Amino acid sequence: PQALNIADSEFRQMPVVLVQGSGMAMPFTDHYFDTVTMSNALHHIEAHQALFAETGRVCKSQGLIVVNEMINESLSAMQETYMLYHRFSAEIDNQLGRYHREPFTEKDLLAIIKLSGFQVLDSFVHSEITGDAMNTQEIDAMSERLKNKVALLHGTDHYYFYENKAREIICRFKKTGIHRPRHITFILKPV
């Protein structure tokens, strides 16, 4: 719901319909979409085969499926800072009973996509390094997101541990800077 509220404010002036649902049981008829996209979603889903089956169901037979995932390897110091942030978020999600694993390596992602049953039309690795790694607005925003994550654990045995860990990561943000890791994008076609 929080993500939909943010998206609603971003897309309010555009002809966009936002729907809350599960990627495992999408509330759409068969072959509804020309294009289905997933961005940084695979590491949040445990049952990839079920996800791919559902994605193939809602995509038109001549449609496209675009999968974009961050890669957890060959990281610069600034990218490793981002990955520490991400791992921290995943740990808290798991404490809250939400499946969230560490991002995959490129080799792991290639194997997952191969098992999808989709035809691979193209794939490419790209960087999202944009702007200043020491951008104080970005550092402040990510620091605030970390604090909000920790607040979800308030009243649990883990709260103070994660509060201290968040402080350490925020210090690293300010010392090292932040760049998002490389990503790999797959352009797929249902078969």
What is 11-64 written as a DSSP string? HTTSS------BTTB-SS-TT-EEEEEEES-GGG-S-HHHHHHHHHHHEEEEEE
Which amino acid appears at position 56 of this protein? G
Q: In the prediction, which pLDDT does 110 show?
A: 96
Angle of CA points 120, 126, 127, to nearest 5°: 155
Q: In the prediction, which pLDDT does 130 show?
A: 64
**pTM of the model as a whole:** 0.88
73-121 pLDDT, tens digit per residue, is 999 999 999 999 999 999 999 999 999 999 999 999 999 999 999 999 9
C-beta neighbour count of 158 within 10 angstroms: 15
What is the mean pLDDT of the segment spanning 154-182?
Answer: 94
Q: In the prediction, which pLDDT does 164 show?
A: 97
117-155 pLDDT, tens digit per residue, is 999 999 999 987 666 778 888 899 999 999 999 999 999
- Residues 104, 38: Cα–Cα separation, whole Å: 15
Q: In the prediction, which pLDDT does 5 show?
A: 86
- Residues 102, 124: Cα–Cα separation, whole Å: 21
Residue-level length of the chain: 191
